[in-house]
Amino acid sequence: MINFTNVNKVWPNGKHVLRNINLKIEDGEFVAVIGLSGAGKTTLLKTINGINKISSGEILISWNNNEEYNLSKIKNKKLRQLRNKIGLMSQEYNNLEKQTVLTNVLNSRISKVNFWRSLLGIFSKKDKEIALRSLEKLNLLDYAYIRAENLSGGQQQRIALARTLSQEPQLIIADEPVSALDPILANQVIKDFQNVNKSDKITIILNIHHVELAQKYASRIIGLKDGKIIFDGKPQQLTKKILKEVYGDNY
């Protein structure tokens, strides 16, 4: 589904942040990317939707209908088409606190309605059904008409996940989605990602500092250090020796 071939990224200041990345991620995988801050994790994720343009190499993304996107070449309309298929999440909830939970989730449907409907915030019955189903999957249906500001941090991140699901993506990339949460809430949110991956067959790639959660819920772990992949395998293959290689004296 996603194929990196000899991908490099060099910032304008000369910092080589991704080094000769060769990686293939199949449809339906749940991949956790681990490594120290500055290892290149966020840069790697943001090359997938074209936010970060690569310096050399090739990234190909193809869907089940054989529609293919070459990140080195696409732009404008084609790039927007790709981004509509990719849900992007971060450690920030990006919820509008004064709006209801349902309205926050419906906001992901704006790109799918006409200009006047989007301007007035008018959504179809289908849009509302999709949003409500997303809330139900994450046990948030009872909060649909409550303002987002009244929910806890864990619930706020699950609103963000529900909004992403309502976009009907084929791929979700999440940059440190639980770094602001306590261990119990972080565990629940990553479990939610796993449930979505299994029930909806959505490919998920996330960066995470919680190694134990990556081992518990992901189907595959990639370890980055200084922009290089130094581990790529199943969670049970991630030994203490490998973790020492990934994190050095910090582990």
For 182-206, the pLDDT digits (tens) are 899 999 999 999 999 999 999 999 9
In a domain, 81, yes or no: yes
In a domain, 103, yes or no: no
Share of the chain above pLDDT 70, in %: 94
Any idea what the CATH number is for the domain that residue 9 is in? 3.40.50.300
Per-residue pLDDT band at 116 (split at 50, 70, 90): very low
Please tell me whether the overall predicted TM-score, pTM, comes out greater than 0.75 for this model: yes
Residue 162 CB partners (closer than 8 Å, separation 6+): 101, 105, 131, 134, 135, 137, 138, 140
Domain residues for the domain of 1 are 1-85+173-180+203-251
pLDDT attached to residue 65: 64
Q: How many domains does the chain have?
A: 1
In a domain, 168, yes or no: no
In a domain, 144, yes or no: no
pLDDT attached to residue 194: 96
What integer is the mean pLDDT of 116-142? 82
Q: Which of 17, 45, 13 is nearest to 203 (CA)?
A: 45
